[in-house]
Amino acid sequence: MKNILLLAFVFISVLLKAQDGQKFLIKAGKLFDSETGQFKTGMSILVNKSKIEAVKPTKEVTAAELKNYPLIDLSRYTILPGLIDCHTHLLNREVLHPSDNELTALDMVKVLSMDGDAYRAIYGSVRAKAYLEAGITSVQDLGNSGQFADMALQRAINEGLIPGPRMNCAGQGLSTEGGQLPGLIFKHQQLVNDEYRIIKSVDDAVQAVRENINQGVNVIKIYANNTPNNTMLRVDEIKAIAQEAHRYNIRVTAHATNNIAVYNAILGGVDGIEHGYQVEDSTLELMAEKGVILIPTDGDSVTYARYSNMAYPGDTTIPSQIARFRKRYATRLQRAINKGVTIAFGSDDYLDLKMPFAEPSKRTLIGYYEAGVAISQILQFATINAARQINRSNQLGVLKQGFLADIIALDNDLDKNINAILQVHFVMKGGKVYVNKP
């Protein structure tokens, strides 16, 4: 038995060593250059271990490289950096309740009081695998994961226990009284503490940042307003949070759904705005001036149709209502782009829409296209811009020398057909191949 275990250990060690030293030559049909927004032809990538060694014209690949780098022929496809979703909730699922869809806290109360962290961990790990296999190689997970269960999922992925995307984790979101659990009577407000870190003062805001950073978070998520509850953080509290986080080179991103919440968050010194559904031009100009990134979590027509049918079956007035607010979202997105605001991709994918895991996330990109954004610009939202939002612009979001080898392949008509984003043929993360489906 001892000899068998020893042989198994040696075998596994050899496999790991071989993987660490793996080299590849990837031949592209088209290559999306996220820095310029151009689709280039006749390009190849050399991968050495976890990083990109070179990106160059295929005609310049040497005979020695052809001999020493095993070929992955993706000449029928378009390759691009792995997608980055800057707003996920991998450990959260909300079921739609058609009978009374206004009680948005029901599912979270059930999760906290009946499901627990063990079930959430299993659910999150399955979703993480699906995200990676869908070509989303990095995510920024923004809370709603209990008391740091996101950190446990991140650790499991990093240790190779389960496949999943690179995770930036926020831990508990910093909120005012009630978090996002409306309707709880005062006697049961302690449930909120299992999901949110409630801020009680400026000094407490600083302490909350330190608590999260001590747990190893990569980003601080705040709730400038915490809809559907109606309390809000003060500007001085937001300033204290941002100043303390920035001491540790940790970015701060703010849930902010209306103009006053967005404006207060910007004055407080945050780095990103999540949602920003209602925002004035003057506020957008301030965002552009201060370099604050907007993450519009807008779905596409298919997503909203599915939501409408599940949440409000038989209600013929809902489609027209959805069309109106989708038009407002599209106008807001175009206004932000015109004002020079940097846009990063984020889906806020947590509703159980009975779609394959990760599909609602990528349909957000289709939603941007339906809002009038060019495909090349959308891909920049999901690569180079998103890498900046998750504070990894020196490692991710671009296919060039020295960057991590996070590479995906899609149909070769991606430059003309945004729906190609839904079908992934190849996924590499850190030089390791997870999907290879010619």
| pLDDT tens-digit readout, 315-326 | 888 889 888 989
Give pLDDT tens digits for 203-228. 999 999 999 999 999 999 999 999 88
Instruction: Work out the percent of the chain whose per-residue pLDDT is above 90.
Output: 79
Residue 183: per-residue pLDDT = 76
Tell me how far the alpha carbon of residue 322 is from its chain's centroid: 24
Residue 313: per-residue pLDDT = 87
Give pLDDT tens digits for 81-138. 999 999 999 999 888 877 655 555 566 777 777 777 888 889 999 999 999 999 999 9
Contacts of 100 (CB under 8 A, 6+ apart): none
Ordered by start, the domain boundaries in the chain are 2-81+399-436, 83-389
Least-confidence region, from 20-24, 256-260, 270-274:
20-24
Query: In CATH, which of 1.10.10.10, 2.30.40.10, 1.20.20.10, 3.40.50.1360 is domain 2-81+399-436?
Result: 2.30.40.10
Residue 120: per-residue pLDDT = 86
Report whether pLDDT(399) > 90: yes
Can you tell me the distance from the alpha carbon of 385 to that of 389, in angstroms, rounded to the nearest whole number?
A: 6
What are the residues facing 252 on neighbouring strands? 220
- Token digits for 404? 């991590």
- The whole-number average pLDDT for the span 34-46 is 98
- The whole-number average pLDDT for the span 177-187 is 81
Can you tell me the distance from the alpha carbon of 161 to that of 144, in angstroms, rounded to the nearest whole number?
A: 22
pLDDT higher for 194 or 395?
395
DSSP state of 412: T
Q: How confident is the model at residue 9 (pLDDT cuts 50, 70, 90)?
A: very low
How is domain 83-389 classified at the CATH fold level? TIM Barrel (3.20.20)
Q: What is the pTM of this model?
A: 0.93
Residue 5: per-residue pLDDT = 41
- The whole-number average pLDDT for the span 386-391 is 98
Q: Is there a contact between 356 and 130 (Cβ–Cβ < 8 Å)?
A: yes
Q: How confident is the model at residue 21 (pLDDT cuts 50, 70, 90)?
A: low
Report whether pLDDT(159) > 60: yes
